[in-house]
Amino acid sequence: MFNTKLTLISHHLCPYVQRAAIALTEKGVPFDRRYVELSAKPDWFIAISPLGKVPLLIVKQDDGSDTVLFESAVICEFIEETQPGPRLHPDDPLARARHRGWIEFGSSILSDLWGFETAKDAATYDIKRKALIEKFGRVEAELSDGPFFAGETFSLVDAAFAPIFRYFDVFDAIIRTGVFDALPRVTAWRRSLAPRQSVRDAATEDYADRLNLFLRNHDAWLLKTSRRDVANRSD
């Protein structure tokens, strides 16, 4: 299985795709990437994606046949179980279960993040902003001295949260959201992940341009409000 050819079916902005790409890179596993436009899904993609979503991981087997895996958590677990390279899950079953729980918590943050970035009015924006602050506050309580979620060891939890923080790299260039103002450990974690090569390589160089276009197309409130408005808004 170690020499199996892998192809990651991707979308340029999908954070779940980035999780899988980070895991593969951390493992040192070569893989191909094929991008699809989800607003105009090609027939070949619809045929192999049960949920019509990315990521997909196409695994070419020894007999030449392809097996398609879907859902980022499943893909990352497969990568961890079958590929060489550093371990991205703890060996201890209890610690491993805890990590899986925080990966799922990261997915719940992404749900609020969607509402935050697509909010079209101040009230919705504030509700989602406060939800993000509350959830990142829970993460703050779980972190130790870092630099990563589990201390010195990079894990799949880091792979799950790095794409979340990448959103805020773009948001910070637009407005001061203040989401991390009272969260020093989360802030330090974010800073530790940003320059890591696997994290940087998980997104294309035009990621910021694509996300800004997405915000414009969704008439996002955060493009309309000023830095001063956000700074003066009460939590």
Distance of alpha carbon 191 from alpha carbon 148, whole angstroms:
10
Query: Do residues 72 and 159 touch, judged by C-beta distance below 8 A?
Result: no
Query: Do residues 115 and 128 touch, judged by C-beta distance below 8 A?
Result: yes
Q: Is 25 helix (H, G, I), strand (E, B) or coil?
A: helix
Kindly report the length of the chain.
Answer: 235
The dihedral region occupied by 55, where left means phi > 0, alpha psi between -120 and 50, and beta the remainder, is beta
| Six-digit token string for 204 | 């294309």
Distance of alpha carbon 14 from alpha carbon 110, whole angstroms:
10
Q: Which of 8, 9, 14, 220 is catalytic?
A: 14
Catalytic (active site) residue 76: no
SS3 content of the chain, % helix, strand, coil (to 5): 55, 10, 35
Q: In this structure, are strands 66-70 and 56-60 parallel, antiparallel, or unpaired?
A: antiparallel
Q: Which residues are catalytic?
A: 14
